[in-house]
Amino acid sequence: MIDKVSEFFHCKESNPLTLPRPPATASEAFLSTIAQGMWAEEKLREAINSTLQFVAIKYGQSRYNHELISSKDAWKNYVTRVYAQMSKYGKRPDLLIFKKDAITLNLPQDISEECEESIKDIVFRSIAGIECRSSSYYYDEYNIKRGKEGKELSITVKEEDIERLVKWRETYCGSKPIYYVQLFFDKGFLISFDEILNIIKRAKVGRVEHYRFERDRRTGKTTNFIGISHARVGLIAREYPNVTAHSIKAWDGKVLAIRTPQGGKFELTNEFVQELLRLI
């Protein structure tokens, strides 16, 4: 049985978020991004679970499968439900982290499909949430080839996600630290959400090196690019992944080729482990 910890927390309720209309369909590029993100989440989860101190479970609601893509109604119902939950509770981080020896319950591996009200007592037990981002680069190779040109890879932070993550943290009384992890094919980099907010705040009044803000001309959506030099190495690859593409047929008969990394093995750095230990 799960002890009812949430009844001891009386968080101040904030107004629901006003969100745009959910995307009616999923593009090929969007699905490749989701597929690669799902791989990155799994690699990060495996790395955390291989430590002696921590365990991670899937919490965020991003996914795709044949059912969602082959049925327009299935996709619409899915994203409508996700947006309704996000408006009320905020954006869920992709993973939740728990201290292993503090968990006495049979912790589920995946709570991403559960409604928020039914899992609040699990979420309250976590020590942090992680937003996982993926990138189709080998970091070291890029740095060798482009670093001398002053080029630097970055952690991508969608502007629209900021208020949604703040809303989620308010749902849990502001008690949950959030981290961003950008996973390349050979390394992963770690930065706290609060550090990101501080960088963005400073950039509004002056120049911040290795930071840029861009607006997509087609969609109008804006993104913050936080240079990797602002982050710390959090993961090291012990085995590299293979990248393949597999086909999936959409609801309108179009065949999509989805880029999908497979395999690979990562290990948390001592710095990442120590950062999490400080939360306990």
Q: Is residue 58 part of a domain?
A: yes
Q: Is residue 147 part of a domain?
A: no
Kindly tell me the burial class for residue 193, based on how many C-beta atoms sit within 10 Å of its own C-beta (0-12, 13-18, 19 or more): buried
Q: Is residue 205 part of a domain?
A: no
* Counted domains in the chain: 1
Instruction: Select from 194, 201, 169, 196 the least CA-distant residue to 91.
Output: 169
Which residue type, as a one-letter code, is found at position 275?
A: E
Q: What is the pLDDT along the chain (280 residues), one digit of tens a residue?
A: 345 555 545 677 778 999 988 777 666 677 778 888 889 999 999 999 999 999 999 999 876 555 566 666 777 888 888 899 999 999 999 999 999 986 655 789 999 989 999 999 999 999 999 999 999 999 999 999 998 888 899 999 999 999 999 999 999 998 899 999 999 999 999 999 999 999 999 999 999 999 999 999 888 899 999 999 999 999 999 999 998 887 777 777 888 777 788 999 999 999 999 999 999 8
Instruction: Select from 279, 276, 9 the least CA-distant residue to 121.
Output: 9
Domain of 38 in residue numbering reads as: 23-138+176-192+230-277
Q: Is residue 149 part of a domain?
A: no
Q: Is residue 79 part of a domain?
A: yes
What is the helix, strand, coil percentage profile of the chain, to 5? 40, 25, 35
- Separation CA 39–CA 235 (nearest Å): 15
Q: Is residue 257 part of a domain?
A: yes
Angle at 91 between CA 256 and CA 19, to 5 degrees: 80
98 phi-psi bin (left φ>0, alpha ψ -120 to 50, beta other): beta
